[in-house]
Amino acid sequence: MNFEQTEIQITTKNKGFYLITPLIEEQFKQINNYKIGLLHLFIKHTSASLTINENADPTVREDLQSYFDKYVPENEPYYKHTFEGSDDMPAHIKSTIIGSNLTIPISNGKLQLGTWQGIYLCEHRKSPHRRKIIATINGEKL
Protein backbone atom coordinates (compact mmCIF):
# COMPACT_ATOMS: atom_id res chain seq x y z
CA MET A 1 0.00 0.00 0.00
CA ASN A 2 1.38 3.40 -1.02
CA PHE A 3 0.59 6.79 0.49
CA GLU A 4 1.14 10.28 -0.91
CA GLN A 5 0.07 13.62 0.51
CA THR A 6 0.16 17.26 -0.51
CA GLU A 7 -1.37 20.56 0.51
CA ILE A 8 -3.40 22.30 -2.17
CA GLN A 9 -4.04 26.03 -1.83
CA ILE A 10 -7.03 27.66 -3.48
CA THR A 11 -7.81 31.38 -3.40
CA THR A 12 -11.48 32.32 -3.30
CA LYS A 13 -12.80 35.70 -4.38
CA ASN A 14 -15.94 35.79 -2.24
CA LYS A 15 -18.79 33.66 -0.98
CA GLY A 16 -19.76 30.89 -3.37
CA PHE A 17 -19.49 27.30 -4.51
CA TYR A 18 -16.27 26.79 -6.50
CA LEU A 19 -15.89 23.80 -8.82
CA ILE A 20 -12.34 22.63 -8.01
CA THR A 21 -12.09 19.17 -9.61
CA PRO A 22 -9.68 20.39 -12.35
CA LEU A 23 -7.51 22.14 -9.75
CA ILE A 24 -7.28 19.00 -7.62
CA GLU A 25 -6.34 16.87 -10.64
CA GLU A 26 -3.83 19.48 -11.85
CA GLN A 27 -2.13 20.08 -8.51
CA PHE A 28 -2.06 16.40 -7.42
CA LYS A 29 -1.01 14.62 -10.61
CA GLN A 30 0.02 11.56 -8.57
CA ILE A 31 -3.63 10.45 -8.90
CA ASN A 32 -2.63 9.26 -12.39
CA ASN A 33 -0.17 6.77 -10.87
CA TYR A 34 -2.71 4.69 -8.94
CA LYS A 35 -4.34 1.49 -10.17
CA ILE A 36 -6.73 1.45 -7.23
CA GLY A 37 -7.00 3.69 -4.22
CA LEU A 38 -8.72 6.46 -2.34
CA LEU A 39 -8.24 10.21 -2.47
CA HIS A 40 -9.08 11.86 0.83
CA LEU A 41 -9.56 15.65 0.89
CA PHE A 42 -9.66 17.63 4.14
CA ILE A 43 -10.15 21.41 4.29
CA LYS A 44 -8.25 23.08 7.14
CA HIS A 45 -10.85 25.76 7.87
CA THR A 46 -14.05 26.21 9.89
CA SER A 47 -15.78 28.70 7.59
CA ALA A 48 -15.46 26.75 4.32
CA SER A 49 -16.40 23.22 3.36
CA LEU A 50 -16.16 20.52 0.69
CA THR A 51 -18.90 18.66 -1.17
CA ILE A 52 -19.61 16.77 -4.38
CA ASN A 53 -22.43 17.88 -6.64
CA GLU A 54 -23.53 18.73 -10.20
CA ASN A 55 -20.58 19.83 -12.33
CA ALA A 56 -22.23 20.81 -15.64
CA ASP A 57 -24.76 23.55 -14.96
CA PRO A 58 -23.41 26.56 -13.01
CA THR A 59 -26.92 27.49 -11.85
CA VAL A 60 -26.68 24.57 -9.41
CA ARG A 61 -23.93 26.47 -7.59
CA GLU A 62 -26.07 29.63 -7.56
CA ASP A 63 -29.07 27.71 -6.22
CA LEU A 64 -26.99 26.08 -3.49
CA GLN A 65 -25.71 29.51 -2.45
CA SER A 66 -29.25 30.94 -2.42
CA TYR A 67 -30.54 28.01 -0.36
CA PHE A 68 -27.86 28.31 2.32
CA ASP A 69 -28.17 32.10 2.48
CA LYS A 70 -31.91 31.75 3.03
CA TYR A 71 -31.81 29.00 5.64
CA VAL A 72 -28.64 30.14 7.44
CA PRO A 73 -28.97 33.94 7.30
CA GLU A 74 -26.64 36.58 8.67
CA ASN A 75 -27.41 38.98 11.53
CA GLU A 76 -29.65 36.69 13.55
CA PRO A 77 -30.20 38.16 17.02
CA TYR A 78 -29.43 34.84 18.71
CA TYR A 79 -25.84 34.63 17.34
CA LYS A 80 -23.32 35.27 20.11
CA HIS A 81 -20.18 34.73 18.00
CA THR A 82 -20.25 38.01 16.05
CA PHE A 83 -16.88 39.72 16.52
CA GLU A 84 -15.47 38.40 13.20
CA GLY A 85 -18.32 39.83 11.10
CA SER A 86 -21.93 39.14 10.26
CA ASP A 87 -21.01 36.30 7.88
CA ASP A 88 -18.76 34.41 10.31
CA MET A 89 -21.23 32.47 12.47
CA PRO A 90 -23.38 31.54 9.46
CA ALA A 91 -20.16 30.32 7.77
CA HIS A 92 -19.43 28.04 10.73
CA ILE A 93 -22.97 26.64 10.62
CA LYS A 94 -22.80 26.03 6.85
CA SER A 95 -19.45 24.29 7.10
CA THR A 96 -20.82 22.06 9.88
CA ILE A 97 -23.82 21.10 7.74
CA ILE A 98 -21.81 20.43 4.56
CA GLY A 99 -18.64 18.96 6.07
CA SER A 100 -14.88 19.28 5.99
CA ASN A 101 -13.77 16.15 4.12
CA LEU A 102 -14.42 13.88 1.16
CA THR A 103 -13.19 10.46 0.06
CA ILE A 104 -13.20 9.60 -3.64
CA PRO A 105 -12.23 6.24 -5.18
CA ILE A 106 -9.43 6.08 -7.76
CA SER A 107 -9.34 3.44 -10.52
CA ASN A 108 -6.69 3.21 -13.23
CA GLY A 109 -5.38 6.71 -12.63
CA LYS A 110 -8.78 8.47 -12.61
CA LEU A 111 -11.07 9.82 -9.93
CA GLN A 112 -14.24 7.76 -9.97
CA LEU A 113 -16.69 10.63 -9.93
CA GLY A 114 -20.01 10.18 -11.69
CA THR A 115 -20.62 11.74 -15.11
CA TRP A 116 -22.19 14.88 -13.64
CA GLN A 117 -20.25 15.06 -10.37
CA GLY A 118 -17.62 17.60 -9.40
CA ILE A 119 -15.75 18.56 -6.25
CA TYR A 120 -16.74 21.90 -4.74
CA LEU A 121 -14.96 24.16 -2.33
CA CYS A 122 -17.78 25.97 -0.55
CA GLU A 123 -16.63 29.42 0.55
CA HIS A 124 -18.99 30.77 3.20
CA ARG A 125 -17.28 34.12 3.85
CA LYS A 126 -17.73 37.31 1.79
CA SER A 127 -14.07 38.29 1.61
CA PRO A 128 -11.28 36.57 -0.36
CA HIS A 129 -9.50 33.72 1.40
CA ARG A 130 -6.60 31.40 0.71
CA ARG A 131 -7.97 27.97 1.59
CA LYS A 132 -5.78 24.94 2.31
CA ILE A 133 -6.83 21.41 1.49
CA ILE A 134 -4.80 18.37 2.55
CA ALA A 135 -5.01 15.74 -0.21
CA THR A 136 -3.97 12.18 0.68
CA ILE A 137 -3.90 9.15 -1.59
CA ASN A 138 -3.58 5.61 -0.37
CA GLY A 139 -3.62 2.68 -2.72
CA GLU A 140 -1.81 0.46 -5.17
CA LYS A 141 0.24 2.08 -7.92
CA LEU A 142 -0.02 1.12 -11.60
CATH number at residue 136: 2.60.120.460
Q: Report the amino acid identity of residue 127.
A: S
Tell me how many domains the chain contains: 1
- Low-confidence residues in the chain, pLDDT < 50: none
SS3 content of the chain, % helix, strand, coil (to 5): 25, 45, 30
Q: Where in the sequence is the domain holding 91, given as residue range(s)?
A: 2-141
Q: Using one digit for the tens of pLDDT, what is the confidence trace for 85-125?
A: 999 999 999 999 999 999 999 999 999 999 999 999 999 99
Exposure string of 107-116, with b = 16+ CB inside 10 Å and e = fewer, is eeeebeeeee
Query: In this structure, what is the dihedral angle of CA atoms 92, 96, 97, 103, given to the nearest 10 degrees?
Result: 130
- Measured CA to CA, the distance from residue 31 to residue 4 in angstroms comes to 9
Name the pTM for this structure: 0.96
